[in-house]
Amino acid sequence: MSVVIVGAGLAGAKTAEALRERDYDGEIVLFGVEEHLPYERPPLSKAVLLGDKEVDSAYVHDDAWWREHDVDVRTGVEVQSIDLAGRRVVTSSGEQPYEWLVLATGSEPRHLRLADEAGRPVHYLRTVEDSLALKASLTSDARVAVIGAGWIGLEVASAARAAGAAVTVHESADLPLLAVLGPEVAQHFADLHRAHGVDLRLGTSVTAEDLAEADLVVVGIGASPRTALAEAAGLEVDNGVLVDELLRTSDEHVLAVGDIANEQHPVLGRRVRVEHWDNAIEQGKAAAATIIGAAEPYDRMPYFFTDQYDLGMEYFGHTGPDGYDRVITRGDFSGPFRAWWVRDDTVVAAMQANDWDASDEMRASVGQAPPAE
């Protein structure tokens, strides 16, 4: 039996790794369009961008590990089409049959035409090359315009300020991270960045005149799942590739993991697509379980983390389309801080900031009764 994995990012790499850990002894072929071995992306906007770590630290495994575990990693190869009936993929270097196909094609940054046509160097952050090019541009005399106050935009702003650059962040919402955190906690992130000298311009649209004042522009307005390959093959696609709780697509021999997987979540009771590091790791493990017949539903709650200045934060759960009734907080945002988002007297999401001993407790609180107010 053979497993073909399309996408040599973290989700694809962890699928291959988990298969070997679970004693799968068939052929594993891992295709990646980039020339690099599989690597993790969070360091690209955090430690690598800050200069605290080298790029090598982001690699999932070195070349020797892949050879020793008999995983055929083919970098610089594009999978061009999928033949579902014939169970084969067509690549830029030939054809490859499969018994199981795992799609882990990830996502790509959304582009902004205004920025692309601004006549200034424009950076999008996704690859190793993107991170290194941006890092080289973050000098003490640079004027940096960041478009989008999401996780990537704020982490870039933090790294730019650490380099001594002047930073302006443009965000159309009234607060950074408003859609994720709500006004109660999002305000703390606005205060954090302003305290570190960021010119935070909220509730307004960026203009060409704004960008004319900058030496370089960084666009962080979200990402789109790379579903063209799946869609062309005839798989069901809607805001990602539709999968069940075992990560199976509309074809019984094809799975999808990571950024592209729009899963029918068995606990949340609705579809959810998560573009974060933890999800890539854990869905890779779950896909391996499905392939070997272990049938372990992927019921892990969404999780993400961020590092900005001297703040480290972890968030567990998902408020979803129904939102929340209230937020309960403990502590001061400048020190150990906790927050619980509550709906119908049940915690739907929880967060800790600079309170690392609380991580397990906060994760476990999701789905439970809230703490006393």
Query: Among residues 176, 368, 341, 355, which one has the least CA distance to residue 267?
Result: 368
The reply to whether 143 and 161 lie within a common domain is yes
Among 184, 219, 254, where does a domain finish? 219
The reply to whether 90 and 232 lie within a common domain is yes
**What tens digit of pLDDT does each residue of 76-104 get?**
999 999 999 999 999 999 999 999 999 99
In a domain, 152, yes or no: yes
H-assigned helices in the chain:
10-21, 42-45, 47-50, 63-68, 113-116, 128-137, 151-162, 178-195, 208-212, 228-233, 277-291, 359-365
Domain span including residue 188: 111-219
pLDDT at 223: 94
What is the average pLDDT value for the chain, to the nearest integer?
95
pLDDT at 373: 80
The reply to whether 184 and 268 lie within a common domain is no
Please tell me the total count of domains within the chain.
3
The reply to whether 99 and 191 lie within a common domain is no
CATH number of the domain enclosing 180: 3.50.50.60
The reply to whether 101 and 115 lie within a common domain is no
pLDDT at 333: 87
In a domain, 348, yes or no: yes
pLDDT at 242: 98
In a domain, 121, yes or no: yes
In a domain, 300, yes or no: no
The single-letter code of the amino acid at 113 is R
- Average confidence (pLDDT) over 211-237: 97
In a domain, 303, yes or no: no
**What tens digit of pLDDT does each residue of 105-153 get?**
999 999 999 999 999 999 999 999 999 999 999 999 999 999 999 999 9
The reply to whether 117 and 104 lie within a common domain is no
The reply to whether 255 and 124 lie within a common domain is no
The reply to whether 86 and 228 lie within a common domain is yes
Strands 107-109 and 100-103: unpaired
Is the pTM value of this prediction over 0.75?
yes
- Average confidence (pLDDT) over 49-61: 93
